[in-house]
Copies of this chain bind each other. A is one copy, B any other.
């Protein structure tokens, strides 16, 4: 059987994660990487696949089964996904939750028109955690679902801290509050705002001689990012930041606590948790498995935009339905 031909668009942390994930899947091959940078300046980590100019993308029609878009949601994907979906099946990790309906509609129009398959917003949140939230609500309707994030590095919050005056570099960790987790696990169904479920810890490298108290106050009072949270700010050296905070760990947890029985007399709890040493590599692994589903939907003659809710679990596996039933059911 011929391998599924994958290409990567954009080569940051996620793109590198996709390259390494493809190497773990024997039924796939990386056939090209597309970049908006000068291709001669970009080298893949291990793959012999060519590095190509983003503008040459249309010439690859018929040579690629699935394009994996690895750009950021804010500026890259909003432009690239609808563009690339004109010619290719695509998958992306668009994660701007509130904009998903509009984004879906836009991509769906392009994919329907060009008979391509576009699977959007794949990863762990949106992604695996979304599926858990949805499963829980269908299976145990008399219950409440809670999502906790962390402990892990939030890129958006780290960026926000870096924009504060006199800050040279920063890393922000989102951390679930243990007592909130425990309340939820006990089935108390508490009302908890995001700030009651999480605290934030910032490691900041400041300019020499900067007013640290002022920086700290500015961070803690930042609306939309920190003001609603218990926030701790630590000032450290650039060397310490590089040595101790260079990785991108993360995690997440969906807990559903519900009641069943004629008199709602039985507590039932479902909990899904991930603990990641590398957020981008895990996200990439989720995406790569779903690329297999994209290829299959396309081979079935399907078209349009899809989300993880539309993907039957068996479509992710290289194994046959018979093998799946025998080995995992």
Chain A residues within CB distance 8 Å of chain B: 17, 19-21, 23-25, 45-46, 97, 100-101, 104, 121, 126, 128, 130-131, 133-135, 137-142, 260-262, 266-278, 281-282, 284-286, 289, 292, 307-314, 316-318, 321-322, 324-326, 328-329
Contacts and interface: CB of A to CB of B under 8 A. Distances in A.
- Stoichiometry (number of copies): 2
Nearest to A142: B24
A184 to B, nearest CB: 12
Given A24-B260, A268-B276, 5 more contacts: A19-B262, A101-B325, A101-B326, A266-B277, A307-B321
Nearest to A16: B262
A137 B262 contact: no
B289 A261 contact: no
Given A260-B17, A268-B278, A100 B309 contact: no
A198 to B, nearest CB: 20
A300 to B, nearest CB: 13
A21 B258 CA distance: 12
Contact of A134 (B104, B134, B268, B328): B328
Given A282-B268, A325-B307, A329-B121, A313 B134 contact: yes
22 contacts: A17-B260, A20-B260, A20-B262, A101-B326, A126-B329, A133-B328, A134-B316, A135-B313, A137-B328, A138-B289, A138-B316, A261-B281, A266-B278, A267-B277, A270-B273, A270-B274, A273-B273, A307-B314, A307-B325, A309-B325, A310-B321, A311-B313
A266 to B, nearest CB: 4
A329 B267 contact: no
Closest 5 pairs between A and B when the two form their complex, measured CB to CB: A309-B314, A266-B277, A266-B278, A260-B281, A138-B316
A131 B315 CA distance: 12
Residue in A23, A262, A276, A313 with the greatest tally of chain B CB atoms within 10 Å:
A313
Nearest to A282: B268
Contacts of A261: 20, 278, 281
A25 B133 CA distance: 17
Contact of A314 (B271, B292, B310): B310
A166 B324 CA distance: 43
Contacts of A131: 313
